[in-house]
Each structure stands twice: as structure tokens, then as C-alpha cells.
Structure 1
Amino acid sequence: MVRISLGGFFEVYETALTGFLPVALVSAGVFQKGHQGLFGLPDLASFAFATFLGLFLGALVASWISDRLGRRPVFKWSVVWYAAASFLMLFQTDAAALCVLRFISAIGVGASIVTIDAYLAEVLPRRLRGKGFAVSKSIQYLAVPAAALMAMAVSHRVFWNISGWRWLLMLPVCSGILIFWVTDKLPESPRWLASRGRASEATAIVGDWEGVCLATGYALAAPKVVASAEPESGSFRELFRAPLLSRTLMIIGATCSGTVAYYGFGNWLPSLLEARHVGVTKSLLYSALIALSYPVAPFLFSWWADATERKTQMIIGSIITTVAGLVFAFQTTGAGWVISGLLVTVGNNLQAYAAHTYRSELFPTRLRARAIGFVYSLDRLVAGVSSYMVGAIFLGLGVEGVLISVAAFSLMSMVILGVFGPATRHDNR
């Protein structure tokens, strides 16, 4: 879990740069604000759209490959993909080229994130799955304050004739080699192997884990054998037939609306603060303080992650985001922005981490990666389109309009989950 979560750290770092990197690019004169950017909108909107369009494509393609070829190879080679694209971004000098390469890089990130969710769901025992996802997200979300602090430290500086924004991109480039090495001996998912009829390989992996437990004196309970009539592989069409159709439509609606709230706040936070006449350095400092809650919140949630239904946790997160988002819109002091911003982030993180667990439990092993990938890809596509929507709202209605929109979409997610979401905590999936 720790090894694959470390890989996820750098994917989250890449995604976190969507909010922080454009500020540095504006400072360097590469990106434009206001109507001077690409398509008459701030270049941040195009950069975010390119990111989410790449995430959409990567998740959609990789989910199918992952169910066919396995979780491990997709994860390893997606890391190489996004590191190589990030390396090419280092040499660009105009907004259009950066957005194109950002799209290519995000394809690898999308592939990796889908694979991580499927893998964790299949190696974590059901009774600890919520805690495992929470701790994993805590490790991955360390990347958000890391990106924020690095942006604050280097964005407006030049080291050895290299602009600060290029230094921000060097971390994922270097991480590609590191993560490829760290995950080299990562075992394949035993559940996936068993679903493909490779029972002897699955048994060998589980046997190794049992041997470690017994060697350390950990008492293992007697195995509970559950008969399964699942076929070795599933059809994508099953997601749109009973009994899975209602689950598919429900999770698409709930997570897509929650994602608009999540990225509508997170990606635009530095720009929202600048619009409040907060200087660039202070806006990045406030953003960094708010970002510190990203790894802390899931870790705290882990203590009760398996005691409460996943959808209930998502609803609670949506309530917090709705209220705190409205409060943030009318703050006028640094303390007010930081405190209400922290609450929005905590609510978003509770909703997001629980959604990762919830998505993985809604569907059987034979369809898990494809289902997660399909839902996640639509999720990213909506996030990409919403970046232009939020940009237009920002230009037309200002900070208040953006924050009211965040609250409205969070409320929509809450209603969909409350009315249509099934309970999954005790499902044997």
C-alpha cells in the first residue's frame, strides 16, 4: 500500500500544479490573465482543461488495459509516460505548447490514478479498506503542500539562469526513475490474477503475505471461502444493464458534481485570493497554509473510515464544503480566508477520499478497473469543461460567483448520494 501510494504522490503533485504552476507562468510572462489568454479566457482555464482532458483519456484507455493486462504494468509505464512529457515541458516558451504537453502528461497521470484505486481495493481486506484508502490518500496528498511550498519558494526566482516554474516541473521528471524502481517488485493483484484464471500465481502471492504474517507472530484467522459464480472477464456493457446501471448513473452524477466543487476551489484558490487584492506571494502563502490540510485530513478520517458508510462520509463532506464555501466568499481578512479555506478543503477531501473507496466497492473485480476508469474519465472531462465555466464565472461574477457555484455543486452531490446511493461497507467485493 505504501509503495503504490508513493507512486500516487507524484501523480497528485502533477495535478496540484494545475493551481500553482499558472501563477508562476503568469509571473514569468508565459501565461496571460483575463481576456488576453487563449480563447479570450485566462490561460489557467486552458491549462486546467488540457490537464483534465488528458486525465479523461488516460483513465478511459488505461482502465480497459488494466482489466486485460493487469494493474502492475499499467501503473509502472504510466509513470514513465508522464515523467517524459513533463521533461519536454521544461523547454517550452509559449502557452499553447505548454498546454499541449500538459495534456500528454496528464494521460499518464489518469492511467496511474485509476490503477491505484483498483489495486488498493483488491489487496486491502474489506474490514480495513476504508482506513487503507484514507492512509493512502494521506500519503498521496502530501504532494499538495509540497507543491504549494515549492511554488511559494521558487515561483518568482531564477536559479542558475533557470526560471522558477521550470524547477517546479523537475520533481515529477526525477520522480519517474525513483517510482519505477520502488514499484519494480510490486506484486500483481491476486484478485485480478484469480479473475483471469491464474489461481496458482495468486495463491503464491497470498502465500508470501501469509508467511510474513506468521514469521512476525501475527495470528491469522481461518480463511473464509466464498463461492463465486463470476465469469473470468466482464463486458463494458454490463455497466449499463441491471443491476449495475443504477449504480453507474448514481456515481457519475455524485462524483462529477463533487469534482466541480473540488477543483473549482482548489485550482482557482491562488487566483481567487489575488482577486481579493492579496499579493502573489501572500496568495501563495495562504494557499500553502490551506494545502497543509490535504494530507492531515485523510489521516484523521482513517480512524473512523470503516465505522461509517462511505456515502455518509461523502454527504458530510459535501455539507462542510457547501457551508464553508459560502462563508469564504464573504471574508475580508487573511485569517478568515485561511480558516474558511481550510474548512472547504477538509470537506472536499472527506468527499473525495470516501469517493475513491466507494467507487471501488460498487463494482465486481472483473469490471472494477473499467468501471472506475469510465466514471473517473467522465469525472475528469467534466472537471476540464468546468475550468472554462469557472473562468467565465470568475470574469463575470467575481469571487462570490465562483464560491456560490462551488457550494451549489457540492449540494447537488449530497442530494444524489442521499437519494440514490446504496450502502457498500459490508459488501463482499
Structure 2
Amino acid sequence: MANIGARIERIPDNKYNKGLLVKTGIGNTFDSMDIAMVAFVLPSIIGLWSLSSEQAGLLGSSVLIGYLFGAFFSGWLGDKIGRKKIIMWTLIIYSLATLVSAFSGAWEHFFWMRVIAGIGTGGESAIIAPYLAELIASKYRGKYIGALTGFHSFGYVAAAIIGYIVVPASENGWRIALIITALPIFLVLYWRRALPESPRWLESSGRLEQAEQEMRKLEQGVEKYTGKLPEPAEIAPPQVTKGSFFTLWNKKYVKRTIMIYILWFSVIFSYYGFFTWLPTLLYKQGFEISKSFLFSILIYVAQIPGYFSAAYLNDVLGRKKLICTYLGLAAISAFCLSQAHTSSTILISGFFTSLFMVGSMAGMYTYTPEQYPTIIRSTGTGSASAFGRIGGLLAPIYIGYMYPIFGFIGVFLMTTGVLLIGMVSTFILGTETKAKMLDDLNDDNVDKDDSDLNKVV
């Protein structure tokens, strides 16, 4: 019997695949809209509750604190109970917590609701990329996962528009903005019947009958657009194996794990430090709040060409070259931003910092699931995302302390250095994965009992 991987590999690019991209991409859009909204309500909340710079930095990191735990545990649970269940439950968590946060009467209550919301957004964001990667043939995987990551840009632009129009409109504009970002809870009703479970995961878990059912549904959906699919190669199903977090650190995967963790920390530290504080930093530089929000919208719009140019180049340059190139260009742009003093130079430098930074993320989200076999793919991606969120939650706090001392210049010089660390680690430790089958990239015969710490390097 042909295994699931062989059957997926012979599926051409088609409208069914594009439908899966849109269905999962919508989740990324709402995740990012929820996260980005903090940056736009923060100036209002600072005034409302007379917050210090340090308290504001802590609020800026609130979602990332939850994100860390959500990403780690959703990755682990995704390998244990399935990708689809985690996608739906994390959506419910962040939507409900966001709705409750809109009615906060004190900054401490708002902080904890944003932490809970972060558990949902972190969990969903970490599971969607490996989920879609398991449903797409290797020839198109880079394009699709890069484009999937690109849906984050729509969320940031939507948040910026809501922040520009809704937040300044009334005293409670920030509350209305948060209520709007909680509406995606209704998406779960659609996802429940529209998304298949990953047949690769079902097969790797020994649930061969369920894997066959889901694979047939997928094939039937594809054949509506392509006609009869060709017969796949006759390959035996992979051996059912067992993996855990410790498997990521055995001899076979330890170099990959170190490289991926450094990459995630560098990119996420820079990303959330930049985007969480951007409207506030512009305001502190002397731009009135409406103008700082308008600048932010234009800089967030740069994410769209950033993500989608990288999505295209993922399968042209390859993941490693793309990540190193975009991180290098982002570092140069961040340095230019640190030296900018006029509206035009700030806007141009910020635009390209945004473009190249998020472009590197499109490569990173594609590259990470390719480092591990199916049985630990979700755990590996989720744990890397969780480690990156440590950088993400530290960045707004650190900038809150750093800005009064070193100012605008110091913040973006630091961003330059962190981006360069991510570039160098990927260049030295990374290997290319372009257009290679997931089954070829990783031997699924991981240790059957890797809980033994003697097997950990």
C-alpha cells in the first residue's frame, strides 16, 4: 500500500490546496490582529491608568507570556491528540479572553486576560504551519507555507486600520477595538467541518483506518479540480514510533534544534520589540497619535510584499539563503532607522525594516517544520516558537527600560545586532531543505523510548 506521503506528493497545485491555504490563513490573520491590537490600545491605556514606562512594557509583553506557553503545549498536544482539535480550541481560548479584556477595569485585570488570550494565539499560530506543511507536496510547500505566514500581514494591517479609525474615535474606542478582534470565535463553526485532520499525523500515530479516510476525502476534494489523480508509488507505511520533547535533543536533531531556537529568538525578539512599541515610540518622537498610527499603517502594509515576496523566493532561492538574505537586509534597514530623524526617512527605513523582517519569518515558518519527522514535527515547531516568544516577551519590557536611557537610536541599534545574530547562526548551522520530501528530510524511525535521558545529547 502506498503511504500517505507518496499520495500527497503526487497531488499537483490546485484550487483545493489554495482553499486549504485560505482556510488556515484566516486563522493567522486573526491571531496577528489580536496581538497587534495591543500596540494600538496601549497609548490609550497608558493615559487611562497612568502607567509607567515599565508597566506599559509589561502590558506589551502580556500576550507573549501566554504565547510562550500556548505555543509549547499546543505543539506537544498536536503530536498527541491531533492538529485539528488544537487549532479549534486555541481559537476559542483567545477569542473569549480578548472579549473579556475589553471590559477590564484595571491594568492588572487587562494584563491577565491578555496572557490567556496569548495562550490561544500562540497555540494556534504554532500548530497551523506544520499542519498545512503535512498536506502539501514538497514542490509547492515553500510557496504555500510562506503565503500562509503572509496572512499575518493582513491581521496587522487590519489592526492598524481599526487602531487608526476606532481607537481615537471615543473614550472607549480601545474597548470597541478589542471587541471587534474577538469576533473570529464564529470561525470555529466553519473549521469544524471544513478542515481535515492531517493524514500524515494519523498514519504516524498508527491510526491507519482514519488516515485512509481523511486521505480519501482530501483526494476526492482535489479530483474535483484536477480529474483522476495518478497512482502513487507503492511504499510501505512508516513504522509507528514514539517521540517527545527530548527527541529534539538527541544526536540526530540537536544541531537543527539549536539553530532553529537561535533563529526564532532573534527574529521574534526584533519583531515584537519593533511592532509592539512602534506607535508609542513615534509618539514619543514628537508625532501626534493620529500621525503615529498612520505611519504604523504604512509600515505594516510593508508586511504584505515582505511575506509574499519571500513566499515566492522560498522555492527559488531555498529556505536558508532566503532567511540569511532577508535578515541581513532587515539589519541594514534597522540601522538606517536608528539614524533617521525626519518623517520621510523614518517612514522609508521603517517600511524596509518591516518588509525584510517579516520576509525572514516566512522562510522561518517554512524551514522549521522541515527539520523534524511527523511524530515530533508539531512539538519541534511549537517548542521553537515558544522559545522565540521568550525573546518576544522580553523585547517590549527591555525596550521599556532601555528607551529612557538610550532613546530611539539605541532601540534600533539593538534590533540591528539581534537580527545579525539570527542570520549568522542560520548561515553556520543550517542546511538547505528546498523541494525535498518530508519523508526524505527526516528518518521517522526515531527512538521508540526517548524518555531515557541517557539518549539526550
- Do both proteins adopt the same fold according to a TM-score greater than 0.5, normalized to the shorter chain? yes
Matched with 1:97 is 109
Deviations 1:241-288 (A, max 9, x none): 111011111111122112212122111111221222111110000001
Letter in 2 for 1:264: G
Residue 19 in structure 1 maps to residue 39 in structure 2: yes
Q: Distance in 2 between matches of 1:31 and 1:369?
A: 42
Q: Does 245-254 or 379-388 show the bigger shift?
A: 379-388
Matched length: 417
Matched with 1:85 is 97
Q: Distance in 1 between matches of 2:132 and 2:238?
A: 23
Q: Distance in 1 between matches of 2:190 and 2:309?
A: 27
Q: Distance in 1 between matches of 2:23 and 2:132?
A: 11
SS of 2:432 mapped into structure 1: coil
Matched with 2:27 is 7
Matched with 1:120 is 132
Match of 1:346 among 355, 363, 366: 355
Q: Distance in 2 between matches of 1:256 and 1:285?
A: 29
Residue 280 in structure 1 maps to residue 289 in structure 2: yes
Letter in 2 for 1:67: D
CA-atom RMSD in angstroms: 1.7
Q: Distance in 1 between matches of 2:234 and 2:39?
A: 47
Residue 60 in structure 1 maps to residue 72 in structure 2: yes
Indicate conservation of the 8 Å contact 2:269/2:393, yes or no: no
Matched with 1:398 is 407
Letter in 2 for 1:101: M
Q: Distance in 2 between matches of 1:216 and 1:75?
A: 27
Matched with 1:314 is 323
Structure 2 unaligned runs (5+)? 1-20, 439-457
Deviations 1:191-243 (A, max 9, x none): 11111112222222222232233333446344134556543331321111111
SS of 2:312 mapped into structure 1: coil
Distance 1:225 1:355, change over 3 A: farther
Deviations 1:97-121 (A, max 9, x none): 1111111111111111111122111
Structure 1 unaligned runs (5+)? none
Residue 30 in structure 1 maps to residue 49 in structure 2: yes
Matched with 1:155 is 167
Indicate conservation of the 8 Å contact 2:164/2:290, yes or no: yes
Distance 1:340 1:422, change over 3 A: same
Deviation at 1:402, TM superposition (A): 0.3
Q: Distance in 2 between matches of 1:333 and 1:180?
A: 45
Letter in 1 for 2:44: A
Matched with 2:280 is 271
Deviation at 1:337, TM superposition (A): 1.4
Residue 246 in structure 1 maps to residue 258 in structure 2: no
Distance 1:265 1:140, change over 3 A: closer
SS of 2:372 mapped into structure 1: coil
Q: Does 224-233 or 128-137 show the bigger shift?
A: 224-233
Deviations 1:160-192 (A, max 9, x none): xx7000111112321112x11220111101111
Letter in 2 for 1:165: W
Q: Distance in 1 between matches of 2:436 and 2:252?
A: 15
Matched with 1:369 is 378
Letter in 2 for 1:417: T
Deviations 1:399-429 (A, max 9, x none): 0000000000001111101111121224421
Matched with 2:192 is 184
Indicate conservation of the 8 Å contact 1:324/1:343, yes or no: yes
Deviations 1:20-63 (A, max 9, x none): 22123235x1352xxxx2xxx34331112221110011112221
Letter in 2 for 1:12: S
Letter in 2 for 1:296: P
Q: Does 418-427 or 216-225 show the bigger shift?
A: 216-225
Match of 1:259 among 268, 271, 274: 268
Distance 1:2 1:418, change over 3 A: same
Residue 141 in structure 1 maps to residue 150 in structure 2: no
Deviations 1:50-82 (A, max 9, x none): 211100111122211111110111111111111
Deviation at 1:149, TM superposition (A): 0.9
Q: Distance in 1 between matches of 2:42 and 2:25?
A: 26
Indicate conservation of the 8 Å contact 2:206/2:240, yes or no: no
SS of 1:117 mapped into structure 2: helix
- Normalised to the residue count of structure 1, the TM-score between the two structures is 0.93
Q: Distance in 2 between matches of 1:354 and 1:377?
A: 17
Q: Distance in 1 between matches of 2:49 and 2:243?
A: 47
Q: Distance in 1 between matches of 2:221 and 2:96?
A: 37
Q: Distance in 2 between matches of 1:23 and 1:124?
A: 42
Deviations 1:312-351 (A, max 9, x none): 1111111111111111112222221111111000111111
Structure 1 residues 318-333: aligned runs within 5 Å: 318-333=327-342
Letter in 2 for 1:20: F
